[in-house]
Structure 1
């Protein structure tokens, strides 16, 4: 069983596979049913449900509200789309690896699932990097960016991100295949089989740099520039009208601060959620003293749960931190925000005998 280079619990082999233990077992008794065999799939099911509902609402609200069709929101839609595809096409297959000792979906799905995992993870990373560069440009050159930061350009960039991710992820489809192994009997595994160890390590390094470290460094640089620029006046006063310019500048800074804060939180969540599994895979691929045992298995399971949780957390960030999103959600789904309140009416300084109930938006 080789480590999955795509930063997820790859379908390369089941967590209960032949190399999940220090030795292979060929006895007649069945494999042990551990707690993670039901706990991890249950956790993945919850993540999938929350992520699908949340990300679908994000896509629906942005696509149906004209005022939300901005460059930043185009990238947010792209990010939500990668999360939806990842949750639908990858997570269920990974969940089956915990209770089932064998890969049962065939050779095509072995290649396809791992390929799509790499595509979505890579598209997510590059989209976050594009969002950060977009916010940096809007902050540093607010007037000039009005001509260039258009939804059309953001859509072109998003399409380019997908095309590039599909091309760069081809090795994941090329080097995955079905293999047989023994673990409490003959089992079928979907393994990652590079021709040489050096090629496998090269792809691990590429994945770590391209879909994690390089985007992370780019994002950090962008936000250092944003923090330095934040608070500086956006326009110069004309005809001595300092008060009006100051008011406009404050409003613009406040709006930019809210949007930037939301993007920062999304990026930080990505860093925290995907960091453990990326570091684990590098250590697993390069550290000669790496031990495959229960402890490392538990660490990898936890790291994968963290990475998958990221696809469900992003919509919550949009809902709680984006004021425009909250307003649009209320308009799109008013029945979810209705509540009955008691409206007491008073006549001549005394309370009217009758009470009436009105329904208003929260």
Structure 2
């Protein structure tokens, strides 16, 4: 949540930054309170999802996806207080390791979340289009392998935070700054472009293609028994899109700092806060996007379980998809 001043890289390879000011105005206090709320709700909600999907429900392909997504969101929310303290104090007091690690967790959450949403979309598409193949090939073991690969790839794509994040004393104040130390402007462009293309644009193109296929199939198959998981998937993806889009827009604007320097300080804080909010919203989507929304005003545990669990039938009437190894039912679209 720091505010960074981008220099002329050609004349001065050392990035001069300004630390966030002490949190005294109403807007800063409000955003700090919002982040505290995100921390509390995100940790509690995602911990509940982890408990339900990991311990209370029988293991299945569907719970494997949502459990991994909840773990990603929980990790991010758990470390959010470090950024809150930084924004309030205007001083990074946690050292170099945590400066790198907190940024790493942010992008690990971003990449793993969007990749898991892509996998969920492709999974629904496969169940709808080729249910017989899904019956034989859609197994918990393969889902676990896919999730492991997602985490490995996400970690690799998040390594620029480890490479470029740095801590140094402020050049005018007795404080420490946690900032991005790019030696060349081209490095900044490469990192931002990679995050935007691989962490946002390309995944959403894949998701849109899956959506078109699923919607066309649903129109043909008007007798689909349940569209609840499709609604949950839609809510998760739309929420991710609107929470992370401002973050990427601000990151792209930072590449032309001179033009947008008047709005970037506010934009940076707004973008990071909105991106952080995504990690606490998913548990509520699990709870409230199930069937009979108006009647689900109580029993949070049962609502979340109903939203996550496998229903045992595909959207194609008369087909019940089970995994070949575990004998578990798959979810409907």
The alignment's TM-score, normalised by the length of structure 1, stands at: 0.73
Show the counterpart of 2:211. 223
Distance 2:122 2:4 in 1: 35
Instruction: Identify which of 232, 237, 254 aligns with 2:225.
Output: 254
- CA deviations on 1:12-43 (whole Å, 9 max, x unpaired) are x9xxx62779xxxxxxxxx5722234222211
Compute the displacement of 1:332 (Å). Answer: 9.8
Closer, same or farther: CA 228–331 of 1 in aligned 2, 3 Å? closer
Q: Which one of the candidate residues 136, 150, 160 is aligned to 2:149? A: 160
Report the CA distance between 1:172 and its aligned residue.
1.2
Q: 1:135 — aligned with what?
A: 124
Q: How far off is 1:308 after superposition?
A: 1.1
Assess if the C-alpha contact under 8 Å between 1:201 and 1:286 holds in 2. Answer: no
**1:267 aligned partner:** 237
2:197 aligns to what SS in structure 1? Answer: helix
The answer to whether the aligner puts 1:314 opposite 2:302 as a matched pair is: no
Q: Offset at 1:297?
A: 2.3
Question: 1:32, 1:260 → 2: CA distance?
Answer: 42
Q: 2:140 is matched with which residue?
A: 151
- Supply the RMSD in Å over aligned alpha carbons: 2.8
- Within a 5 Å distance, the mapping from 1:203-242 to structure 2 comes to 203-233=191-221
The 2-side partners of 1:192 and 1:298 are apart by: 18
1:40–1:332 CA distance, 2 compared to 1 (3 A): closer
Distance change >3 Å, CA 286–CA 38, structure 1 → 2: same
* Higher mean C-alpha deviation, range 150-159 or range 296-305: 296-305
For the pair shown, the structure with the greater C-alpha radius of gyration is: 1
Return the offset for 1:58: 1.3
| Contact 1:3 1:284 (8 Å CA) reproduced | no
Q: Which residue of 1 aligns with 2:45?
A: 54
* CA deviation vs aligned residue, 1:242-295 (integer Å, no higher than 9, x gap): xxxxxxx83xx222x21111101110010011101111111111465122x3x4
Deviations along 1:108-157, one digit per CA (max 9) or x if unpaired, are 11111112222221111111111111111111112221222222211111
In 2, Cα distance between equivalents of 1:159 and 1:123: 10
Once residues 57 and 123 of structure 1 are traced to their aligned partners in structure 2, the CA distance between those partners, rounded to angstroms, is 20
The number of equivalent residue pairs is 290
User: Is 1:122 the counterpart of 2:90 in the alignment?
Assistant: no
CA contact (8 A) 2:170 2:176 kept: yes
Pair 96,201 (structure 1): closer, same or farther in 2 beyond 3 Å:
same
* Structure 2 SS opposite 1:178: strand
Residue segments in structure 2 that go unaligned for 5+ positions in a row: 7-14, 306-333
Structure with greater strand share of residues: 1
Distance 2:39 2:139 in 1: 32
Q: CA deviation at 1:99?
A: 1.3
Aligned residue for 2:91, secondary structure, equals coil
The match for 2:302 among 330, 333, 338 is 330
| Structure 2 residue 137 is the aligned partner of structure 1 residue 169 | no
- Contact 1:126-1:161 within 8 A present in 2 as well: yes
* Counterparts of 2:153 and 2:267, CA distance in 1: 31
Contact 1:72 1:134 in 2 (8 A): no
Q: Deviations over 1:209-233 (max 9, x none)?
A: 1111111111111101110111435
**In 2, distance between residues paired with 1:40 and 1:154?**
38
Matches for 1:88-107 after TM superposition, within 5 Å:
88-89=78-79, 91-107=80-96
State the alpha-carbon separation in 2 of the partners of residues 151 and 3 from structure 1.
48
